[in-house]
């Protein structure tokens, strides 16, 4: 796959129109935390009939099984189309894209991938149709990069279910989410405690979420803490049911998806920075000529174009692997995230530099893109963690 199909390009133009006409005018409002972005996300879903498509996918999954309990997992969304959506949202507001992706992709996606039929219908369906907002809770205050080894949140089996205690931090959508996928150590095992995942609903006694955190960037994406004080979770909300395996591997799969999912976000940021830089370089006159005539400016634009070309190629490789059913490795996800996140941050900062004082002002989009891009080097595993993982696998000869 070298590029999107003509049908996907038509969809891309429609999505870009929505982003320009509906999202862009609201960015200052949601950036200043005047209100969470969820009403606008529901507008997006309503405009493009997302809820109807999701319900149709669930209905099709049910109808293909003679025994409803054996219904296959619904395939929600077209891979290239969802990629285009994340890319176009990120061109206008990466924080909006982050919040949208965390709810549908991480929370909803985890329940669809590993939940029972009942769990998919009860919890994933309303998240995927945006009736409810989801959050995926893995990170803890003392266990950032060492998510599993230092996990302190624990679960104890009791009559009728489980009791969860602990806390999570830096969780996208936490302050407003309705449904949480929470990871905890299973204290009922004595040797190498397994990691379990639970679906917890807002309103559960003992579950409290903090106010939205104040951050350097991604202001349009509410981030917060989750506190679990002896929260009772019914047995049927253990993700995957009683037969569920240790969730370490499944959580790593979600992390891989998150890392690959950052590629279209990075491409959207780089693409918009290039567009803004080219436009400004042609319009801005200095010493009697457009600054586009200066070689140092041309070098910046050439580097941005090169970055966009490489990230686009990486994205097409990911989509082709998905189409062919040949999943890429976790190490390749790390390599892609490392390169794309660093490059997006560098390009955004170069766009600020090229525009000078105008680029540093908040009413110019590249200032927001530069702040937002930095999170992509931290969330989903820092640059340093990606480097360690890649190097370990290369040196072991297992790549």
pLDDT tens, residue by residue, 320-361: 998 898 988 888 999 999 999 999 999 999 999 999 999 999
| pLDDT recorded at residue 247 | 64
pLDDT in tens, 103-138: 999 999 999 999 998 999 999 999 999 999 999 999
Least Cα distance to 334 among 319, 314, 349 occurs for 314
The rounded distance, in Å, linking the Cα atoms of 341 and 309 is 15
| pLDDT recorded at residue 77 | 63
pLDDT in tens, 194-244: 889 999 999 999 999 999 999 999 999 999 999 999 999 999 999 998 877
Instruction: Using alpha carbons, list the distances in angstroms from residue 239 to 183, 252, 254, 278.
Output: 10, 15, 14, 49
Contacts for 342 with CB less than 8 Å, ≥ 6 apart? 377, 383
Ranking 46-50, 144-148, 296-300 by mean pLDDT, the lowest is: 144-148
Ranking 67-71, 302-306, 311-315, 320-324 by mean pLDDT, the lowest is: 67-71
Long-range contacts of residues 302-306, Cβ cutoff 8 Å, at least 24 apart? 303/347, 303/350, 304/270, 304/273, 304/274, 304/277, 304/347, 304/350, 304/351, 305/274
Q: Which helix (H) or strand (E) holds 354?
A: helix 330-355
Q: Which residue has the tokens 């457009």?
A: 290
Given the residues 31, 88, 140, 258, select the one marked as catalytic.
258
| pLDDT recorded at residue 192 | 61
**Residues 25, 31 contacting (CB under 8 angstroms):** no
Q: Residue 278's Cα: distance from chain center in Å?
A: 29
Long-range contacts of residues 185-191, Cβ cutoff 8 Å, at least 24 apart? 185/151, 185/152, 185/153, 185/154, 185/155, 186/154, 186/155, 186/157, 187/154, 187/155, 187/156, 188/156, 188/157
Active site residue 31: no
Q: Residue 266's Cα: distance from chain center in Å?
A: 11
Dihedral angle at the C-alpha atoms of 97, 99, 101, 107, nearest 10 degrees?
180
**Residues 9, 94 contacting (CB under 8 angstroms):** no
The full 3-state SS of 286-346, as one line of letters, equals: ECCEEHHHCHHHHHHHHHHHHHHHHHHHHHHHHHHHHHHCCCCCHHHHHHHHHHHHHHHHH
| pLDDT recorded at residue 149 | 78
pTM: 0.92
Q: Which whole number is the average pLDDT over 143-148?
A: 76
| pLDDT recorded at residue 65 | 60
Mean pLDDT, all residues of the chain: 91
The rounded distance, in Å, linking the Cα atoms of 351 and 190 is 54
Which class for 372: exposed (0-12), middle (13-18), buried (19 or more C-beta within 10 A)? buried
pLDDT in tens, 245-256: 666 666 677 777
């Amino acid at each position: 796959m070298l590029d999107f199909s003509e049908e996907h390009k038509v969809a891309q133009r429609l999505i870009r129109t929505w982003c320009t006409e509906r999202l862009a005018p609201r960015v200052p409002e949601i950036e200043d935390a005047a209100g969470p972005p969820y009403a606008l996300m529901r507008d997006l879903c309503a405009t493009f009939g997302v809820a109807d498509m999701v319900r149709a996918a669930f209905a099709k999954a049910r109808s293909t099984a003679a025994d409803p309990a054996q219904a296959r997992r619904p395939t929600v969304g077209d891979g290239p189309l969802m990629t285009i959506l994340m890319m176009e949202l990120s061109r206008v507001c990466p924080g909006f894209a982050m919040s949208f992706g965390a709810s549908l992709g991480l929370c909803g996606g985890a329940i669809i991938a590993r939940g029972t039929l009942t769990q998919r219908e009860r919890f994933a369906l309303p998240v995927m149709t945006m009736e409810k907002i989801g959050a995926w809770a893995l990170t803890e205050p003392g266990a950032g990069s060492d998510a599993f080894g230092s996990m302190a949140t624990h679960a104890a089996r009791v009559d009728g279910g489980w009791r969860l205690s602990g806390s999570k931090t830096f969780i996208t959508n936490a302050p407003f989410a309705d449904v949480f996928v929470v990871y905890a150590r299973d204290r009922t095992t004595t040797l190498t405690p397994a990691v379990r995942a639970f679906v917890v609903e807002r309103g559960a006694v003992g579950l409290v979420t903090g106010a939205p955190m104040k951050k350097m960037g991604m202001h349009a994406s509410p981030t917060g803490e989750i506190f679990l004080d002896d929260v009772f979770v019914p047995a049927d909300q253990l993700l995957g049911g009683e037969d569920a395996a240790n969730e370490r591997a499944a959580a790593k799969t979600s992390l891989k998806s998150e890392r690959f999912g950052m590629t279209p976000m990075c491409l959207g940021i780089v693409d918009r920075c290039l567009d803004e830089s080219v436009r400004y370089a042609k319009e801005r006159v200095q010493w009697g000529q457009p600054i586009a005539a200066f070689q140092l400016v041309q070098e910046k634009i050439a580097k941005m174009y090169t970055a966009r070309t490489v990230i686009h190629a990486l994205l097409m490789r990911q989509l082709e692997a998905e189409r062919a059913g040949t999943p890429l490795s976790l190490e390749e996800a790390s390599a892609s995230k490392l390169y794309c996140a660093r490059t997006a941050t560098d390009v955004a900062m170069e766009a600020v530099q090229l525009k000078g004082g105008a680029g540093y002002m908040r009413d110019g989009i590249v200032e927001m893109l530069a702040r937002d891009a930095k999170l992509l080097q931290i969330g989903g595993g820092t640059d340093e963690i990606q480097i360690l993982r890649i190097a370990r696998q290369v040196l072991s000869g297992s790549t």
